[in-house]
């Protein structure tokens, strides 16, 4: 399939009945966001980044790649987790159709097109284009002063995978959990166990554990069994963010296996953060190291020794331990731990840890809970990472929009509008009008709603 390109919109040559239909004004948030994207040359950038994924000349041109990213940004701003939901939401809104740059009679791309675009050519060119999209948004906010690169906070959370626990099978034999329970029931004397018998037997047996070393999902082998934030166990992934604590912008967002600890995934996230900061000219160096602030889950002697002479000046909280620490001749680990203790006791260290709890952890409710990614509907860590990067880019764009119009989401932009009740007297009639004003950085978008017209009282 050939690459489709987004040209400048042109007025219709003929007037159809759609032109005469009443048209609602566009949404103030999406109109301003569209202006930001067009001024930044977003469509040309998206077509250049996605060009390797398409044939030079074969078949009909595809839908413009910029529309793919815009639809997923709608999913983030509207808190829609599924791609079917994104399609339905865009189809039901005239303002979103304008945001997608659709012509008058063009239909909204369906969910299957989103899936095919994401998985094109084994995902590598599309993954590269998504990464470049994330880099482009980060450069855009860096130009606005929303990336400092001086204090980086790292934190991780959990994301429920699109797999049920009942789909797990034994790695050695391939038997499902239900089949093993049936064998145990037959050994105990129950020839034809019912579902209630299996549930009672599963609850009564002792020492049951679900280990990733013994069990794997038959549907999504990359999803791992993990304990969620609410204490329940699910097959999940582990998103990890590196956040600029001075502005709240995410400089790196990685998806790791859920069974890997924080000390294991930290080097990969820091490598991505350093590479992304280098792209905007803020790479940490030995002469000017960046502060790394993290909670006690990232504290280990191996990590502290590796980061001691690196480009990162670490401030990692130390967990409380009973007794005294024994170093067994490891003076490098001792010096690293003592150095971090002194940094944490300082005034700057206390302020940085408080800032980490406020800013770094806030990025997960925005992306996962309000952004619709707490549970993914995709299979495979690479597929999940492609969409997750777009949602994190939407989080960064929200910071930019908050700087421009004072609102980071469409709902917030609507809530910040003014509502006035206007009573108009004109000769012999009285009109009652609701006037809504959405203030957008010096400009005003007004909507009028006529409630009633009555004869003017004597």
Residues 139, 1 share a domain = yes
What integer is the mean pLDDT of 123-130?
54
Query: Is residue 317 in some structural domain?
Result: yes
Q: What is the pLDDT of residues 387-419, one digit of tens each?
A: 999 999 899 989 888 988 888 888 888 777 654
The residue that leads in pLDDT, 190 or 16, is 190
Domain span at 427? 417-455
Q: Which one of 349, 376, 403 terminates a domain?
A: 376
Question: pLDDT-based confidence at 165, cuts 50/70/90?
Answer: confident
Under 8 Å between Cβ of 107 and 362: no
Q: What is the pLDDT of residues 300-318, one digit of tens each?
A: 999 999 998 889 999 999 9
Instruction: Dump the DSSP string for 294-336.
Output: E-GGG--HHHHHHHHTSSEEEEEPPPP-SS----TT-HHHHHH
The residue that leads in pLDDT, 456 or 275, is 275
8-state DSSP, 356: I
> Per the structure, how many domains does the chain have?
4
Residues 298, 177 share a domain = no
Residues 342, 276 share a domain = yes
pTM assigned to the model: 0.82
- Which range has the top average pLDDT, 131-145, 194-208, 235-249, 423-437? 235-249
Query: Is residue 223 in some structural domain?
Result: no
Residues 391, 427 share a domain = no
d(CA 191, CA 52): 59
Residues 111, 3 share a domain = yes
Query: Is residue 248 in some structural domain?
Result: yes
**Angle subtended at Cα 222 by Cα 216 and Cα 225, rounded to the nearest 5 degrees:** 55
Whether residue 129 is predicted with pLDDT greater than 80 in this model: the reply is no
Strand partners, 292: 152, 314
The residue that leads in pLDDT, 283 or 256, is 256
Q: Which ranges in 310-370 belong to alpha helices (H)?
A: 331-345, 347-355, 363-364
Give me 150's structure tokens: 């001086």
Q: Which one of 326, 352, 376 terminates a domain?
A: 376
Give me 314's structure tokens: 């670490």
Averaged pLDDT score across all residues of the chain: 81
Query: Is residue 32 in some structural domain?
Result: yes
């Amino acid at each position: 399939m050939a690459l489709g390109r987004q040209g400048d919109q042109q007025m219709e040559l003929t007037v159809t009945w759609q032109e005469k239909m009443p048209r609602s004004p566009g949404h103030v948030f999406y109109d301003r966001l569209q202006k930001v994207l067009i001024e930044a040359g977003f469509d040309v950038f998206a077509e250049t980044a996605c060009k390797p994924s398409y044939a030079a000349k074969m078949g009909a041109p595809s839908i413009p790649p910029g529309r793919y990213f815009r639809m997923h940004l709608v999913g983030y701003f509207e808190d829609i987790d599924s791609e079917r939901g994104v399609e339905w939401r865009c189809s039901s809104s005239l303002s979103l159709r304008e945001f997608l740059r659709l012509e008058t009679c063009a239909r909204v791309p369906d969910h299957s097109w989103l899936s095919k675009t994401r998985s094109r050519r084994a995902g590598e060119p599309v993954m590269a284009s998504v990464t470049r999209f994330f880099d482009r948004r980060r450069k855009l906010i860096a130009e606005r002063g929303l990336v400092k690169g001086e204090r980086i906070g790292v934190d991780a959370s959990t994301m429920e995978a699109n797999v049920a626990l009942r789909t797990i099978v034994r790695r050695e034999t391939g038997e499902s959990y239900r089949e093993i329970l049936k064998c145990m029931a037959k050994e105990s004397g129950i020839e034809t166990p019912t579902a209630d018998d299996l549930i009672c037997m599963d609850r009564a047996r002792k020492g049951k554990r679900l280990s990733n070393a013994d069990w794997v999902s038959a549907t999504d082998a990359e999803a791992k069994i993990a304990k969620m934030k609410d204490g329940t166990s699910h097959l999940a992934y582990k998103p990890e963010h590196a956040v600029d604590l001075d502005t709240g912008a995410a400089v790196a967002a990685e998806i790791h296996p859920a069974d890997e600890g924080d000390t294991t995934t930290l080097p990969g996230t820091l490598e991505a953060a350093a590479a992304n900061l280098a792209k905007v000219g803020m790479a940490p160096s030995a002469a000017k190291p960046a502060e790394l602030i993290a909670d006690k889950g990232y504290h280990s002697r191996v990590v502290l020794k590796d980061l001691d002479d690196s480009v990162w000046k670490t401030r990692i909280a130390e967990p409380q331990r009973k007794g005294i620490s024994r170093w067994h001749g490891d003076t490098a680990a001792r010096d690293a731990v003592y150095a971090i203790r002194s940094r944490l006791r300082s005034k700057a260290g206390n302020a940085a840890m408080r800032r980490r709890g406020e800013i770094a952890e806030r990025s997960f409710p925005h992306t996962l809970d309000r952004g619709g990614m707490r549970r993914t509907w995709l299979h495979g860590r690479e597929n999940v990472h492609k969409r997750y990067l777009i949602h994190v880019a939407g989080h960064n764009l929200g910071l930019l929009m908050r700087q421009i119009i004072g609102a980071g989401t469409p709902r917030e932009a609507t809530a910040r509008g003014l509502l006035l009740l206007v009573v108009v007297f004109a000769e012999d009639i009285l009109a009652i009008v609701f006037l809504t004003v959405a203030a957008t950085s010096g400009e005003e978008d007004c909507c009028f709603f006529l409630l009633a017209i009555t004869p003017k009282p004597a």
